[in-house]
Amino acid sequence: MPSDHEPSSHALPDRSESWSGNPIWRLYTTYGAGRRYAVVGAVATVLGRAFGLIPAFVIGLTVDAIFLAERSYALPFVPDRLVPNTDVGLLYLSIAILLGAAAVGAVASWVEDWGWSVFAQRVQRNLRVDAYERLQDLELAYFTGQRTGDLMSVLNNDVNALETFLRDGLSATLWVLATVVGIGVILVGLNAPLAAVTLLPIPVLAAFTLLFTRLIEPRYLSIREEIGDLNSRLENNVSGIEVIKSESAEQFETERVAEASDAYLVANLSAIKIRITYFPGLNVISGIGFAITFLVGGLWVLGQPPFGLTGTLTPGAFVTFVIYAQQFLWPIIRLGDAVDDYERAKAAGSRVQGVLLRTPAVLDRPDARPLKMIEGAVTYDAVRFAYSGEPVLTDVDFAVDGGETVGVVGPTGAGKSTLLKLLPRLYDPDEGAVRIDGQDVRDVTLRSLRRSVGYVSQEPFLFFGTVRENIRYGTFDASDDEVERAARRAQAHEFVENLPDGYDTMIGERGVKLSGGQRQRLALARTMLKDPAILVLDEATSAVDTETEALIQTQLAEFAADRTTFVIAHRLSTVRTADRILVLDDGRVTEDGTHEALLETEGLYANFWRVQTGDIASLPRAFIERALRRQAVVGADDGADEGRAN
Ligand SMILES: Nc1ncnc2c1ncn2[C@@H]1O[C@H](COP(=O)(O)OP(=O)(O)OP(=O)(O)O)[C@@H](O)[C@H]1O
């Protein structure tokens, strides 16, 4: 079995492939590297089946040769000299063959399960790792447009459905084929016309199964969608449990979960109705087939063969026919299961493929080179950007010299975060270009770009793990001393030291045990440890108290002195000392200058300053009216931001 860290032995599927054709086949051709295990499983399946068919044949032979003396005891592939010449000796031989067949069958069954399971588990492992790798390569916009639960269900349920089919479905299909072919060959050898009667239900069963697949396929697709919905709801609620509790929304959420569960139930029931009709249908068809074999064979043994059939049918051969005809039932039910697994796997396969083959909107160009950082000058050149529809940034033009500290301020929703997310290519502009030291960020490798740009967001994400692991995240080779130094600079060291296990304290899945300000300081420490040439602080200290912020500012001033730094802030004291301040309003840079210069301009910045220094009385009427209008718009878009400053 592969270890957890076994490197994939296959290349990731080519994104430029066209995705027509059967998704399971495509996935098999890409991920079937462990098919030698499947081959072992397949050989064991066929061998097990061959030995499983021996008893019915030997019982028939024993009846005819020993009890009725109607034919000689002739075993295929066994020389006559090895066959005893007394009836009791022959009986012992029959029993020995039956026991031997059972023993070989048991060993074959073990090997069969082992081979198919190892094969399917390896496919599952590689497919999941690749699907995850491809998923995380996709652009940020893909994730914001998808629900987490949906993505989780692709990586979990869908990958598992494929594993189930490869483990059980494929082996069952082969098992059925081996059984039908094996029984067919033996029966034709014993009595061809009666064999034709016994095998008659097979085409009928095939047609019935085809009808089943047509009916069930769309239902399985909708089950997959509903389970995605349900997972999303559950995931969302577990993450938002604090809000649910504080808003006493338990009843409301239970109802929403019930609704999603109802939809899943309805989708499942619709498939179940088809499935539970299918299996009895199979039984009825094979039961009728069995009855016909019994009737024709029975009449024949009685010397009255119907339909003008001629020749003789010995009672022993009839017993063999009857046992085999009954044995059809199991393979057919297994076939039903296999078809069922196949349909689920096909629905799952097309969703997994959707992730595997999706081309990221933001990716390295074929000729991308590492970023050559010279002084860290940043230029935005006629940049336009929209998430979808409404433009968020319009004709943004500015140039920042290497080493400058630039404050970015503006009303909520003006596009400040968006503006700076274009720098590490979390999004690409629709028009214009963002350049670092003259190089378009789209022409350099993402890896080198993102190593050079440190982005500390307003709501930092902490991973489940220790404080140390969280600070070291991204700079995995940093020493403990370096981690501590970064924490000191971010004013995090003291509170970390006071945690129960200091730097080794485990923090919750999203750092829930830490305050907002503490989380921000850890995120800041993480970026300081990374030591990027360009630093973007997006409201990175907004949750920190003013006293701690003042301490952070002193450290930051030193840290930012020799690197280009952008500081997005609502609290203007945070950017007051910046070399330059850009004012963004409605997606455009409307003011650009030092704090003093902007105050003199008497524009938006000067009014913000008045608000923050409590000089409300001298605010121009137009500013207040505009702010009220903007609040109405932003409030309609995003109620959470309503109470913010500015
Ligand atoms: N992922 C997204 N998908 C779609 N629209 C978005 C997305 N992120 C932001 N927006 C929209 O883009 C606009 C600008 O958002 P942005 O976060 O850049 O503003 P901001 O100036 O940083 O605001 P704030 O001061 O409130 O943080 C807003 O109207 C917002 O609703």
pLDDT per residue over 379-425, tens digit each? 999 999 998 888 999 999 999 999 999 999 998 889 999 999 999 99
Tokens of 134: 């491809």
| Close Cβ partners of 87 (under 8 Å, ≥ 6 residues apart) | 66
Task: Identify the sign of the CA torsion 513, 518, 520, 526.
Answer: negative
pLDDT value for 20: 61
Copy the structure tokens of residue 643: 């109470």
CA of 413 to the centre of ligand 1 (A): 5
Residue nearest to atom 5 of ligand 1 (CA): 387
Residue 637 CA: nearest ligand 1 atom is 31
User: Residue 448's pLDDT is what?
Assistant: 93
- Ligand 1, pocket-test mutation among 418, 459, 630, most atoms within 8 A of CB: 418
Atom of ligand 1 nearest to the CA of 421: 18
How many beta carbons lie within 10 A of that of residue 222, not counting itself?
Answer: 17
Atom 18 in ligand 1: which residue has the minimum CA distance? Answer: 415
Residue nearest (by alpha carbon) to ligand 1 atom 1 = 144
Q: In this structure, which amino acid lies at residue 220?
A: Y
Which of 216, 203, 35, 202 has its CA nearest to residue 116?
Answer: 35
Q: Which value, to the nearest 10 degrees, does the dihedral of the CA atoms of residues 603, 605, 609, 615 take?
A: 20
- Residue 644 CA: nearest ligand 1 atom is 26
Q: How many A from CA of 334 to the centre of ligand 1?
A: 54
Please state, in angstroms and rounded to a whole number, the distance separating the CA atoms of residues 332 and 177. 10
Query: What distance in angstroms lies between residue 424's CA and the mean position of ligand 1's atoms?
Result: 17
Atom of ligand 1 nearest to the CA of 570: 25
d(CA 495, CA 514): 10
**Counting atoms of ligand 1 from 1, which one is nearest the CA of 638?**
31
Note whether 332 and 286 are within 8 A (CB). Answer: yes
User: Could you tell me the distance, in angstroms and rounded to a whole number, from the CA of residue 75 to the centre of ligand 1?
Assistant: 81
| pLDDT for the residue numbered 11 | 63
pLDDT at 643 over 70: no
How confident is residue 632, by pLDDT bands cut at 50, 70 and 90? low
CA distance 635 to 327: 70
Note the pLDDT of residue 641.
38
Substitution candidate for ligand 1 out of 147, 416, 459, 542 with most atoms within 8 A of CB: 416
Distance 585 CA to ligand 1 centre (A): 12
Q: Which residue has a Cα nearest atom 2 of ligand 1?
A: 387
Q: Ligand 1 center to residue 394 CA distance, Å?
A: 14
Choose the residue to mutate in 144, 384, 387 for probing ligand 1, maximizing ligand atoms within 8 Å of C-beta: 387
Beta bridge mates, 379: 399, 435
Q: What is the mean pLDDT of residues 514-534?
A: 89
- pLDDT tens-digit readout, 111-126: 999 998 998 888 888 8
Q: In what order do the strands lie in the sheet with 564-568?
A: 453-456, 534-538, 564-568, 405-409, 580-585, 588-593
Q: 196 or 262, which is more confident? A: 262
CA 164 to the chain's CA centroid: 16
Q: What is the ipTM of this complex?
A: 0.97
Sorted by sequence, the CB contacts under 8 Å of residue 297 that are 6+ apart come out as: 194, 313, 318, 321, 322
Place of tokens 């008045």: 610
pTM of the model: 0.75
The number of the ligand 1 atom at minimal distance from the alpha carbon of 634 is: 29
CA of 459 to the centre of ligand 1 (A): 14
Contacts of 581 (CB under 8 A, 6+ apart): 406, 407, 408, 409, 575, 591, 592, 593, 594, 595, 598, 605
- Measured over the CA atoms of residue 205, residue 206, residue 207 and residue 210, the dihedral's sign is positive
Give yes or no for a contact between 532 and 456, defined as CB atoms under 8 angstroms apart.
no
Cβ atoms of 126 and 10 closer than 8 Å: yes
Nearest CA residue ID for atom 31, ligand 1 = 413
pLDDT at 640 over 60: no
For residue 397, what are the CA distances in angstroms to 380, 434, 442, 496, 576? 5, 9, 17, 42, 22
C-alpha 542 – ligand 1 centre gap (Å):
17
From 394, 417, 585, 589, give the residue whose CB has the most ligand 1 atoms within 8 Å, as the site to mutate.
417
Mean pLDDT across 510-527: 80
Nearest 5°: phi and psi at 511?
65, 30
Average pLDDT over residues 492-512: 81
Give residue 333's pLDDT: 65
Most confident of 8-22, 275-289, 295-309, 584-598: 584-598
Predicted pLDDT of residue 630:
67
pLDDT band at 3 (very low <50, low <70, confident <90, very high): very low
Mean of per-residue pLDDT scores for the chain: 83
**CA-closest residue to ligand 1 atom 3:** 387
Please tell me the distance between residue 355's alpha carbon and the centre of ligand 1 in angstroms.
26
In this structure, the residue with its CA closest to atom 14 of ligand 1 is 415
Tokens of 609: 């300053």
Cα gap 265→51, rounded to integer Å: 43
Instruction: Kindly state the helix (H) or strand (E) to which residue 214 belongs, with its residue range.
Output: helix 201-239
- Find the 415 Cα to ligand 1 centroid distance in Å: 6
492-507: average pLDDT: 89
Q: What number does the ligand 1 atom closest to the CA of 144 have?
A: 1
The lowest-confidence range among 71-80, 198-207, 496-505 is: 71-80
Ligand 1, residue 410: give the atom nearest the CA: 21
Burial bucket for residue 623 (CB in 10 Å: 0-12, 13-18, 19+):
middle
Residue nearest to atom 24 of ligand 1 (CA): 412
Q: Is the pLDDT of residue 547 over 90?
A: no
Higher pLDDT: 47 or 20? It is: 47
pLDDT at 6 over 50: no
CA 193 to ligand 1 center in whole angstroms: 77
CA 414 to ligand 1: nearest atom: 21
What ligand 1 atom has the least distance to the C-alpha of 415?
Answer: 18
Residues of the chain above pLDDT 70, percent: 91
- Compare 612 and 454 and report the one with higher pLDDT: 454
- Side-chain-side CA neighbours of 299 within 13 Å: the count stands at 13
**pLDDT(559) > 50:** yes
Counting Cα atoms < 13 Å in the Cβ hemisphere of 51 gives: 18
Name beta bridge partners: 383. Answer: 396
DSSP H or E segment with residue 455 = strand 453-456
Residue 16 has pLDDT above 70, yes or no: no
Atom 28 (ligand 1) nearest CA: 413
Domains of the chain: 24-357 (1.20.1560.10), 378-467+533-641 (3.40.50.300)
Average pLDDT over residues 633-637: 52
Going by CA atoms, what residue is nearest to atom 27 of ligand 1? 412
What pLDDT digit, counting tens, does each position of 197-250 carry?
A: 888 888 888 888 888 888 888 888 888 888 888 888 888 888 888 788 877 889
**Which segment of 521-530, 582-591, 611-620 scores lowest on mean pLDDT?**
611-620
Best residue among 392, 457, 634 to mutate for probing ligand 1, ranked by most atoms within 8 Å of CB = 392
Residue nearest to atom 25 of ligand 1 (CA): 412
Using the 8-state DSSP alphabet, how is residue 432 labeled?
Answer: E
> Residue 9: pLDDT band by 50, 70, 90 thresholds?
low
Q: What is the pLDDT of residue 136?
A: 87
- Given a cut of 50, whether residue 639 has pLDDT beyond it is no
Q: Which residues line ligand 1 (CB under 6 A)?
A: 144, 387, 392, 410, 412-418, 637-638, 641
Least Cα distance to 169 among 363, 346, 379, 361 occurs for 346
Looking at residue 4, its pLDDT comes to: 41
Residues 6 or more apart whose Cβ sits within 8 Å of residue 568: 407, 408, 409, 416, 417, 420, 536, 537, 538, 539
Beta carbons of 183 and 332 less than 8 angstroms apart = no
Give residue-wise pLDDT tens across range 257-298.
Answer: 999 999 999 999 999 998 889 888 888 888 888 888 888 888
Distance 571 CA to ligand 1 centre (A): 18
